[in-house]
Chain A
Amino acid sequence: MIMSPSETISTLFDSPKETLVRYVEVWTPNEDATRLTLVATQVTGPITRKKPKHKVVSVAKGAGLAGTAWQQKAVSIVHRDDVGQLDRINVRSDHDLTAVLAIPVFFQQEIRGVVVIGLGDGFGAAEIWTRDDRDELAVSASHYAGLESFEFITRYTRFPKGAGVPGRVWQSGLPYLLQKLGHSDSFIRSFGNDEAEIGAAIGLPIGHERGFPASVLLLLSSTATPIASLTELWECEQSAVVDAGMPVARLIGVTRIAGGSVSVGSGSSPEAWQSELLQKTESAGQPLLVTAEEAELPTGAKFNLSIPLFKNDVLRNVLNLMF
Chain B
Amino acid sequence: MNENRYVEIANLTKAYPNPFGQDIAVVKDFNLILRKGEIVSVIGHSGCGKSTVLTMLAGLNPITSGSLIVDGREVAGPGPDRAVVFQSPCLLPWMTSFENVMLGINQVYSHGTKVERKQICEYYLSIVGLADSMHKYPREMSGGMQQRVGIARAIALKPRMLLLDEPFGRLDSLTRMDLQDVILEILDRERVTTMLITHDVDEAIYMSDRVCMMTNGPEATVGQVLKIPFARPRVRSEVLDHAHYYDFRACLLSFLQKQEHRKAAHVASFSKKLLDAPVEFVEDTVKEPAKEPVGV
Q: Does B251 contact A (CB under 8 A)?
A: yes
Asked whether B251 lies within 8 Å of A191 as measured between CB atoms, the reply is yes
What residues on B are CB-neighbors of A157 within 8 Å? Answer: 224-227
- Residue among A153, A161, A188 making CB contact with B223, cutoff 8 Å: A188
Separation of A207 and B28 alpha carbons in the complex (Å):
28
Q: Which residue of B lies closest to A138 (CB)?
A: B227
**Residues A161 and B31 in contact in the complex (CB < 8 Å), given A136-B225, A190-B254, A191-B251:** yes
Asked whether A159 lies within 8 Å of B224 as measured between CB atoms, the reply is yes
Determine how close the nearest CB of chain B comes to the CB of A92; give it in whole angstroms.
Answer: 37
Asked whether B221 lies within 8 Å of A133 as measured between CB atoms, the reply is no
What residues on B are CB-neighbors of A185 within 8 Å? Answer: 215, 258-259, 261-262
Asked whether B251 lies within 8 Å of A160 as measured between CB atoms, the reply is no
Q: Does B248 contact A (CB under 8 A)?
A: yes
What residues on A are CB-neighbors of B248 within 8 Å? Answer: 153, 156
Asked whether A163 lies within 8 Å of B229 as measured between CB atoms, the reply is no
What residues on A are CB-neighbors of B225 within 8 Å? Answer: 136, 157-160, 163
Separation of A159 and B223 alpha carbons in the complex (Å):
7
What residues on B are CB-neighbors of A163 within 8 Å? Answer: 31, 221-225
Q: Does B86 contact A (CB under 8 A)?
A: no
Q: Does A134 contact B (CB under 8 A)?
A: yes
Asked whether B226 lies within 8 Å of A188 as measured between CB atoms, the reply is no
Interface of chain A, helix or strand or loop or mixed?
loop
Q: Does B25 contact A (CB under 8 A)?
A: no
Separation of A222 and B214 alpha carbons in the complex (Å):
27
What residues on B are CB-neighbors of A156 within 8 Å? Answer: 226-229, 248
Q: Number of contacting residues on A, CB 8 A?
A: 25
**Residues A162 and B247 in contact in the complex (CB < 8 Å), given A188-B224, A188-B254, A188-B255:** no
What residues on B are CB-neighbors of A136 within 8 Å? Answer: 33, 225
CB under 8 Å from chain B, chain A span 22-58? none
What residues on A are CB-neighbors of B223 within 8 Å? Answer: 163-164, 188
Q: Does A261 contact B (CB under 8 A)?
A: no
Determine how close the nearest CB of chain A comes to the CB of B252; give it in whole angstroms.
Answer: 9
Asked whether A188 lies within 8 Å of B31 as measured between CB atoms, the reply is no
What residues on A are CB-neighbors of B262 within 8 Å? Answer: 185
Asked whether A134 lies within 8 Å of B5 as measured between CB atoms, the reply is yes
- Residue among B4, B250, B253 making CB contact with A134, cutoff 8 Å: B4
CB under 8 Å from chain A, chain B span 26-65? 29, 31-33, 35
What residues on B are CB-neighbors of A192 within 8 Å? Answer: 250
Chain B's interface size range is 20 to 34
Asked whether A160 lies within 8 Å of B228 as measured between CB atoms, the reply is no
Asked whether B221 lies within 8 Å of A162 as measured between CB atoms, the reply is yes
Interface of chain B, helix or strand or loop or mixed?
mixed
What residues on A are CB-neighbors of B33 within 8 Å? Answer: 134-136
What residues on A are CB-neighbors of B273 within 8 Å? Answer: none
Asked whether B247 lies within 8 Å of A149 as measured between CB atoms, the reply is yes
Q: Which residue of A lies closest to B266 (CB)?
A: A185
What residues on A are CB-neighbors of B213 within 8 Å? Answer: 188
Q: Does B244 contact A (CB under 8 A)?
A: yes
CB under 8 Å from chain B, chain A span 165-186? 183-185
Determine how close the nearest CB of chain B comes to the CB of A107; give it in whole angstroms.
Answer: 30
Determine how close the nearest CB of chain B comes to the CB of A186; give it in whole angstroms.
Answer: 8
Determine how close the nearest CB of chain A comes to the CB of B219; give it in whole angstroms.
Answer: 11
Determine how close the nearest CB of chain A comes to the CB of B210; give it in whole angstroms.
Answer: 8
CB under 8 Å from chain A, chain B span 12-33? 29, 31-33
Determine how close the nearest CB of chain B comes to the CB of A230; give it in whole angstroms.
Answer: 29
What residues on A are CB-neighbors of B221 within 8 Å? Answer: 162-163
Separation of A189 and B252 alpha carbons in the complex (Å):
9
Asked whether A160 lies within 8 Å of B31 as measured between CB atoms, the reply is yes
Determine how close the nearest CB of chain B comes to the CB of A148; give it in whole angstroms.
Answer: 10
What residues on B are CB-neighbors of A191 within 8 Å? Answer: 247, 250-251, 253-254
Separation of A191 and B259 alpha carbons in the complex (Å):
13
What residues on A are CB-neighbors of B244 within 8 Å? Answer: 152
Q: Which of B5, B33, B225, B226 has the most CB of A within 10 A?
A: B225
Separation of A159 and B221 alpha carbons in the complex (Å):
11
Q: Which residue of B lies closest to A134 (CB)?
A: B33
Asked whether B251 lies within 8 Å of A153 as measured between CB atoms, the reply is yes
What residues on B are CB-neighbors of A184 within 8 Å? Answer: 258
CB under 8 Å from chain A, chain B span 221-240? 221-229
Which B residues are closer than 8 A to A by beta carbons? 4-5, 29, 31-33, 35, 210, 213, 215, 221-229, 244, 247-248, 250-251, 253-255, 258-259, 261-262
Of the A-B pairs whose beta carbons lie under 8 Å apart in the complex, a sample of 29, sorted by A's number, is A133-B4, A134-B5, A134-B33, A134-B35, A136-B225, A149-B247, A152-B247, A153-B247, A156-B226, A156-B229, A156-B248, A157-B227, A158-B210, A158-B227, A159-B224, A160-B32, A160-B222, A160-B225, A161-B29, A162-B31, A162-B221, A184-B258, A185-B215, A185-B259, A185-B261, A188-B213, A191-B253, A191-B254, A192-B250
In the complex, the 3 A-B pairs of residues with the closest C-beta atoms, listed nearest first: A191-B254, A160-B31, A158-B225
Instruction: Given contact pairs A136-B33, A188-B223, A189-B251, enumerate 8 new A-B contacts (beta carbons under 8 Å).
Output: A156-B228, A157-B224, A162-B29, A162-B221, A163-B31, A188-B258, A190-B254, A192-B250
